[in-house]
Amino acid sequence: MATAYPFALVTPEAVIFEGDVQSVSLRSGLGDIAFFAQHSPYIATVAPCVVKVLKVDGETLLVGVDGGFVRAAGNMVSVVVPFAELGYEDEESLLAAVQARTSAALDAVMDTSHVK
């Protein structure tokens, strides 16, 4: 079994996941990356992607995110994102849900119907 390490994924509203994991993979602004125990120090933006969290019990948690930041330091990895989408079994559906939410948020920001 791989060595476990602490991981946290948080939004401004909630802690989505916090606990020991075997690995975390995501797409950073620098490209795809996987984190394992004792990862070297790292900090980068997170691109819109599905974060794959392999828990110590072998279960994989899929979390859709639309940007954010990732930091690996002191054998801990933290991901901070504006929002996280859960509850989908496959990556394609999860990414579609994230894109729809992002599109709706952009439409709301760009809506000028209230401006005179």
Q: How far apart are CA 82 and CA 16, in angstroms?
A: 11
Query: What is the mean pLDDT of the segment spanning 32-40?
Result: 96
**What is the separation of C-alpha 14 from the centre of its chain, rounded to a whole number of angstroms?**
13
Summarize pLDDT for 46-94 with one digit per residue, the tens: 999 999 999 999 999 999 998 999 999 999 999 999 989 887 677 777 7
Helix (H) / strand (E) containing 49: strand 49-55
CATH 3.10.450.40 fits 5-110, yes or no: no
Q: How far apart are CA 115 and CA 50, in angstroms?
A: 36
- Rg value, the chain, Cα: 15
Return the domain boundaries, the chain: 5-110
Query: What is the mean pLDDT of the segment spanning 1-8?
Result: 86
